[in-house]
Amino acid sequence: MNLVSPRPAARPSHVSEAEWKTRVDLAACYRLVHHHGMAMLVYNHITARVPGPEHHILINEFGLSYDEITPSNLVKIDLDGNVVDGGAHEVNKAGYIIHSCVHRARPDVACVIHTHSRAGVAVSCLTEGLMPLNQEGLQFYGRIGYHDYEGIAVYAAEQARLVANLGRNDVMILRNHGLIATGRTISEAFRRIYYLEFACRLQLDVMASGRKFAPPPPEVCAHTLAQWDDGAAAIGTGNDEHTREWPALLRMLDRKDPNWRA
């Protein structure tokens, strides 16, 4: 294959290699969410846990478009939303209510993605939520948390209910609001939001056809879920950072904007 080689990242001397890799992957995730039409102007967030014992999180600077995010302009904050890496960075603390409680309650989660995509919000408004209709969506069969709408998420009192409704699930539908996907790596979280978004779009297409639905029987849904779990690496959706998808996506970003790694 004739592939574009990733450009080397210029890591600042005060940033560890582990943190810089997290910054590069998180910046890529923002760019990819934008590329796939899941961004909402300068709002919503994608957060990633900084390696180390400090419990710090990386987040976007408030006011930047997702396609403006780079590793160096990400902001490091603590779990209370306080900026810890200096500088006059502005963070949308109100919008961080959702992310902080997930990171605090789920140490296994390295990345949290929250979107207000058109398809995701539409499905969140349906009583039945996400239906088991397609192969990609069946990886979430019986594993989606649901959180009832309580208004704009700006109050800490809602955090306990958000965490309880997510439980041990990796994705959650916020009713009348949007989608959440988590991952043990940034690439894993992106794959989940990508497939969750695809399943939402597919469901709306099926509903718009006006034809009768033909969902697989429960035993086939359960079988397919087990296939996603047991054969994840073989079908390209494993949890390893070195699966085929993530490097290919980074190469695409290199072709689109050689300066995104700045």
The structural domains of the chain, ordered by start, are 17-127+142-189+240-255 (3.40.225.10)
Instruction: Tell me the two tokens of residue 3.
Output: 């592939």
Cβ-proximal residues to 116 (8 Å cutoff; 6+ apart), any chain: 40, 43, 44, 177, 178
> Which three-class secondary structure state does DSSP give residue 9?
coil
Q: What is the pLDDT of residues 179-228, one digit of tens each?
A: 999 999 999 999 999 999 999 999 999 999 999 999 999 999 999 999 99
Q: What is the pLDDT of residues 104-144, one digit of tens each?
A: 999 999 999 999 999 999 999 999 999 999 999 999 999 99
Percentage of residues in the chain having pLDDT higher than 90: 78
Instruction: Tell me the two tokens of residue 250.
Output: 């980074």
- d(Cα 33, Cα 92) in Å, to the nearest integer? 19
Nearest to 43 by CA among 20, 66, 68, 13: 66
What's residue 146's pLDDT?
Answer: 98
In this prediction, residue 3 has a pLDDT band, given cuts at 50, 70 and 90, of very low
- pTM of the predicted protein model: 0.91
- d(Cα 24, Cα 187) in Å, to the nearest integer? 11
| Range scoring the smallest mean pLDDT among 12-26, 118-132, 222-236 | 222-236
Residue predicted with more confidence, 154 or 235: 154
Q: 170 near 183, Cβ under 8 Å?
A: yes
What's residue 11's pLDDT?
Answer: 74
- d(Cα 178, Cα 83) in Å, to the nearest integer? 26
- d(Cα 175, Cα 163) in Å, to the nearest integer? 15
Q: 249 near 36, Cβ under 8 Å?
A: no
Percentage of residues in the chain having pLDDT higher than 70: 90
Cβ-proximal residues to 58 (8 Å cutoff; 6+ apart), any chain: 22, 23, 26, 47, 48, 50, 74, 75, 76, 77
Phi first, then psi: give them for residue 233, nearest 5 degrees.
-65, -35
